[in-house]
Structures are given as C-alpha cells and as structure tokens.
Amino acid sequence: VNVAGVPHRTVRLDGDAVVMIDQKLLPWRFEHVVCRTAADTAEAIRDMTVRGAGAIGATGAFAAAQAVIEAARGDRFEAEVAETLAMIAATRPTAQNLFAGIDAVRAVIDADPRASVQRAIRAANAFADADADACRRIGEHGRSLFRDGMRISTHCNAGWLAFVDWGSALSPIYALHRAGARVFVWVDETRPRGQGARLTAWELAQEGVPHAVLTDGVVGGKMRAGEVDAVIVGADRIAANGDVANKVGTYALAVLAKHHGVPFYVAAPTTTIDGHCPTGAEIPIEHRSEDEVWRVTGPTDSGELRTVRVVSAGSPAMNPAFDVTPAELVTAILTETGVHAPSQLRG
C-alpha cells in the first residue's frame, strides 16, 4: 500500500535484519525500526512496535529466520534454534498467525546449518508474501458482501498495518473504494491502545476513504438510528467451530449487530484458523499491563510526544486484550478462499 505515493510493506527482511514500520509512533510519525537480532525482533512483537495478527505472523517468521542465521554461527545449532523459537513464540499468546509463521520456518530446518539458513530465509519470505496475497484475495472476495453507499463499522485495526499488506477487514473496503464505490467507515476508537483512532483512521485517510472515529460504545446508538449497514472486523484466532477471538470489544459489537439485524462479518487469512482449538473457550487470551489503561500517549500542539494519566490514581485496571465472539453471532467468515458460514470452517 502507498504512503505519500511510495509503496510500503508493514514488515520485511533486509539481509539478516527485520525492518518494520514503528506502529507505536503512528499516526504522529512515520518511521521504521531495524531489528538486527532475533531477540530484538521478538521484543518488537512483545512491545507492539509491530502488531496485528498477520504482521506479527510474518515478523515471527522473520525472527525465526534470524534465529537460524544466528545459531549457524555457533556450535549448538539445533538446540539454540529450538531455544530461540520458543522465546519468539512466548511474545504474544493469542494470534494464531505468530505460531503459523514460526512453524513455517521450523518445518524447513534440519541438522545442516548452512542449508537450513537458505531454506529458512526463503520460507520466511514466502510466508510473508502469502500473507499479502491472501489479504489481497480477501478484498476481492469481500466486495460481493457490500453495496454502493454502505456505512460499515469496524473495530481495532485489521488493515494493512495489521498484515504485510492490504489487510483483512479493510481489504474489501479498499477494493470497493478503488473500484469507485461509495463506502463510509465508522471506526471504533478501540481503547486502551487506540488502534482504531490511531491506525485505522490514518490508513483510511491515506487511501481517501470517508470515515469518522467513534469513541467505544457509540456504535450501538448509530445502529439503533439505522446508520450502520454492516460490520466487518478481523480476527486473531478462529477456533474449529467458528468462534472468533478478536480485539476486546468485538463481542459487544457482535451482540449489538445481532440485536439490530446488522450483518457481522469476520475477515482473516486461513493462517488465523486454529484447527486444534475446538472452541473459543480454549483460545488463550492475552492480559496486558494496567498501565495501558491508566495512561495515554499523544503529541502536544507543539508536536512533542507526552504520556499522561487518564484514570484516577489508585484504581486498579483490568486489561484483557481480546474477547471471544461465539460463531452464532457471526454472519460469515471471509478468507482468501471465499465467503464461508462459520459452521463450514475447517482448520
């Protein structure tokens, strides 16, 4: 996707370094971070310099390739690779794509360090390319779900920043917009980290898609007023029965959509489907620091980034990063293979 006319991917491998857009600084600054070791790349996943299921999947694959490169320099090749892959896998627990990315590299490693390095680099790049291609195809399939003039609600950021390119939930919206259809997007702010207000709003503005940011919870009134025609969100993990883990707040949005008769679509590449997870109850939900609820970061009018407290001092907070939406609230799941009823899914 273009930023100021220049094509960019969210994350890429450059030699033995991983180069990624710094999503902690967006939309105030557009900068890249260069991670030269597997440990640095893993830390960038953990601290959400890179975030979004597909993007952390590709970053996990690149970090795994770095692990192989690093281990090939020593004399404990297989043991060191195994330790570093476990460290990468421990960064974030919910997005299935992370484990798919690591496994794509693990599958091509054997006891031969030199040959394993070449195969690991190829496998990581192929995994990232496949993510971008799957998202492009999600956009093509998704066009059939929407009509000209629709007002579409989304939550969090499941756009190109959350993947290598194109995005999942936003991909059909970009495809429609580029084809000349009129679409309008209601963007949930998505506290505590504001992925909607910061990232989705910025992406849509880059593409010139009309939109407005809503603070979390406003969308229910918009549905009641008949101002929402459809909802589309991404997913971090989809269980074999079609239950969907996505950014916290998605479940409430799905209940509202059901109540108001608004179709609720989930878009994700098949790397998000976990066939070993029978239902949503088995999906591990990440709990993050209270600090993310207590404080917000943003620029002052003079452009200086500041962090301020927004919650009464002394009050504890709870910060589950995801919730699970049961399959019966999902109208359809959109993948690179087409539009599916949640009950038809197989991992």
Binding site for ligand MRU (CB under 6 A): 51-54, 156-158, 162, 168, 195, 233-236, 246-247, 321
Q: Smallest gap, in angstroms, from Cβ of residue 75 to ligand MRU?
A: 37
Q: Smallest gap, in angstroms, from Cβ of residue 47 to ligand MRU?
A: 11
Q: Smallest gap, in angstroms, from Cβ of residue 164 to ligand MRU?
A: 11
Nearer CB in complex with ligand MRU: 51/211: 51
Residue 131 known to be catalytic = no
CA 205 to chain centre: 19
Nearest to 52 by CA among 196, 185, 152: 196
Q: Which of 216, 236, 243, 274 is catalytic?
A: 236
Residue pair 163/132 in contact by the 8 Å Cβ criterion: yes
List phi, psi (to 5°) of 321: -85, -20
Nearer CB in complex with ligand MRU: 81/273: 273
Nearer CB in complex with ligand MRU: 113/192: 192
The Cα–Cα gap between 69 and 190 comes to: 38
Q: Is 217 helix (H, G, I), strand (E, B) or coil?
A: coil
| Secondary structure of 151-166 as H, E, C letters | EEEECCCCCHHHCCCC
Q: Smallest gap, in angstroms, from Cβ of residue 190 to ligand MRU?
A: 8
The Cα–Cα gap between 217 and 239 comes to: 26
What is the crossing angle of helices 77-89 and 96-106, to 10°?
Answer: 170
Longest dimension (CA), the chain: 66
Nearer CB in complex with ligand MRU: 119/340: 340
**Active site positions, annotated:** 236
